[in-house]
Amino acid sequence: MTDTATRPTPAASTYSDGNFARVAEELTAFDLQVIGQIPETLDGRYVRNGANPVVPTDPATSHWFTGTGMVHGVRLRGGRAEWYRNRWVRGDDVVEALGEPAVPGPRRSVDFSPNTSVIGFAGTTWALVEAGALPTELGYELDTTCRNDFFGTLRTGFTAHPKLDPDTGELHAVCYAWQDLMDHVEYVVIGADGSVRKTVDVPLPGMSMIHDMSLTQNYAVIYDLPVTVDLDLVLSGKTSFPFRWDPDYGARVGLLPRDGTAAEIVWCDVGLCYVFHPLNAYEDDDGRVVIDLCRYDKMFDRDLLGPAGDSIPTLDRWTIDPATRRVDEERVDERSHEFPQVRADRTARRHRFGYTVGLSGGLVPGANYKFDYDTGTATSHDHGPGRGSGEAVFVADPAGSAEDDGWLMSFVYDETTDGSELVILDARDLSRAPVARVLLPQRVPYGFHGSWVPDAAVPAPTAS
């Protein structure tokens, strides 16, 4: 286990300084400079969401996760980088600060700017966040269009981490809303048309922070781990974030049959830990559930403003036997890893390759890693001194047939120039120089999650 007792808690300004600091302008730039050659087959947008407070906040109490959302995007077509845009995701706080009209669409008991991820689904672009707020629909050029409760079919809020079933085109999600659902979460399945077709209430002993979920061929995997609501913490004024480490809550993972009820969940105890992001999950030939994930020893214990100060995330594998409820926990790599990814069409299936970002100095990103689970080996791409990659999205090469035929695409920050680039790596061989580097007109702050949204999935508007 990682020894967390000697890890320093970051200073209060950790999540407000350097490349964690907000950018204050929305920019549009065309015909970006490219070093290398963008693959001609890439036709669409790379988009990424993250916290970027619309007005400056108090670094002594502001939690990184509560900043208003800002989406950054680059459009690629015909080997060119046609544009870069960054836009705040409009919630009530953003439109009030900017003096703009209210955002249309339905409302829930809570409204805040979705700041965690952005996806293309059901022919449109969605900015997402967990904890009760509705998804926000974005136009092709990243301007906010409306709140959207999946066309009137979503009961409460949503999540930032739905899983797309590559067979059915459905989204699977585990959703919590600490203001409304203090004793349960919802397992939600959304059809390819964008309408909710199923909601299952899952009782819990308390309200834990369920940031992500996993999907296998037969199960939705629920992570019920010991970070729970602490309203006294918010009332104390120490932080704007209502969750804290709660070891008395215990730690378990639930296997909910995809076509079953909450009464059929198989709950299995695991060692005390927290997981933001699983890499993938699948069922092996013996019916066991195999989950690769990034695991923290603890979370939001001493560091009340973000995830960097209590422990480092390692790459682990859990193998769960539903018959015995036994969980075997294995360390895959001792180094610090986050933002795990697999090729999208391997979701819920056995994967050979997984991709992560190495971290240093808390949450400061660095190299891109590729793990080969068949051989047990890892390779990496070091971007150079002072340069580090955010979450890298795997984009499949339509001309390829192997699992790793494709590219890794991410925003890379260079502290020596205080600038950012969109970097495209060859996923087949990370030791190679980047396929292409797109120079951006401003830095992109460290943020959360993004997607490659091909124009085939969300078409570009036609010229009038």
Concatenated DSSP letters for 210-240? Answer: ---EEE-SSEEEEEE-SEEE-HHHHHTTS-S
- For residue 463, the model assigns a pLDDT of 59
pTM, full prediction = 0.95
User: Would 462 be classed as within a structural domain?
Assistant: no
Asked if the model's pLDDT at residue 2 lies above 70, the reply is: no
User: How far is the C-alpha of 125 from the C-alpha of 94, rounded, in Å?
Assistant: 19
Asked if the model's pLDDT at residue 148 lies above 80, the reply is: yes
> From the CA atom positions of the chain, what is the Rg in Å?
21
Average pLDDT, the chain: 94
Range of the domain at 350: 18-454
Domain count, the chain: 1
- For residue 11, the model assigns a pLDDT of 38
> What's the pLDDT tens digit per position in 432-449?
999 999 999 999 999 999
Model confidence band, residue 239 (pLDDT cutoffs 50, 70, 90): confident
Strand order across the 124-128 sheet: 117-121, 124-128, 136-138, 144-147
User: Would 10 be classed as within a structural domain?
Assistant: no
CATH value at residue 204: 2.130.10
Q: What percent of the chain has pLDDT over 70?
A: 96
Bridge-based pairing state of the strands 124-128 and 28-30 = unpaired
User: How far is the C-alpha of 233 from the C-alpha of 280, rounded, in Å?
Assistant: 33
User: Would 401 be classed as within a structural domain?
Assistant: yes
- For residue 181, the model assigns a pLDDT of 66
> What's the pLDDT tens digit per position in 383-422?
999 999 999 999 999 999 999 999 999 999 999 999 999 9
- For residue 462, the model assigns a pLDDT of 75
**Measured between alpha carbons, how far is residue 392 from residues 8, 28, 351, 448 in Å?**
28, 23, 17, 11
User: Would 463 be classed as within a structural domain?
Assistant: no
User: Would 11 be classed as within a structural domain?
Assistant: no
Backbone angles phi, psi at 158, to 5 degrees: -130, -160
User: How far is the C-alpha of 411 from the C-alpha of 297, rounded, in Å?
Assistant: 28
User: Would 58 be classed as within a structural domain?
Assistant: yes
User: How far is the C-alpha of 147 from the C-alpha of 362, rounded, in Å?
Assistant: 34
- For residue 9, the model assigns a pLDDT of 38
